Amino acid sequence: MRPRHASNADAMTPFKRTLVLVRHGQSEDNAQDLFSGLRDPALTSRGVAEALAAGRELGRLGLRFTHAFTSAQRRAQQTMALILQELGQDDLAVRKDAALNERDYGALAGLNKSQARERFSAEQVRVWRKSFHAVPPGGESLAMTAARVWPFYEREIAPAVADDGCALLVGHGNALRSMLMRLDGLGPERIEDVNIGTAQFLVYAMAEDGRLARTEPQPAE
């Protein structure tokens, strides 16, 4: 299948020292309001459309990637493939690693959020979902997720960006939230209010000191 923007993609040049974070498109679990975690649902038709739309928007901004990273989970990998297809970069090598997997929700995985609130109480479920340190039964806290995501970023992603690269990371809501704490300097209280929508993307530019700052690139002319 030919990429929809092949002619535009040929004219693009990579942004330098840029990182783009994208949450995966809507999954089958998202559509049913289920805790997903390490479960491996596919994208819904809406999720496919969201991923393609994100690819079109990234293309409109003139972004072209030199590096691509995603998790070992299907919904993120599908989103990555659709974005690269839309950009005409199907041949870009993608690094897939379980360190970027979604937070493990343990006993909550597969439960509808309403069912979970009935079983454990609304307040307990809120704490498990939003708190930085709270650990759902048999699962991971956001802090534990950050403890595997952030070292991977420092070891693999940051050097790629620092070497005049333009990196695309397609990940998961909580795994990305754990990164935003460092990238945006958010404390445990502030991260509770942060939500990344399906197929939403965030663009960061790296300064000479290696720090990343959120930026709003303008559409390419």
Interatomic CA distance for residues 150 and 112, integer angstroms = 29
**Residue among 24, 67, 140, 172 flagged as catalytic:** 24
Interatomic CA distance for residues 46 and 86, integer angstroms = 16
In this structure, how many other beta carbons lie within 10 angstroms of the beta carbon of residue 31?
Answer: 15
In this structure, how many other beta carbons lie within 10 angstroms of the beta carbon of residue 180?
Answer: 19
The angle subtended at Cα 220 by Cα 84 and Cα 93, nearest 5°, is: 20
Q: Residue 190 is which amino acid?
A: R
Q: Which residues are annotated as a binding site?
A: 23-30, 75, 102-105, 113, 173-174
Q: Which residues are annotated as a binding site for substrate?
A: 23-30, 75, 102-105, 113, 173-174
Q: For residue 145, what are its two tokens?
A: 């997720």
Residue 70: beta bridge partners?
96, 170
Annotated catalytic residue 208? no
Annotated catalytic residue 24? yes
**Residue among 5, 50, 67, 102 flagged as catalytic:** 102
Annotated catalytic sites, by residue? 24, 102
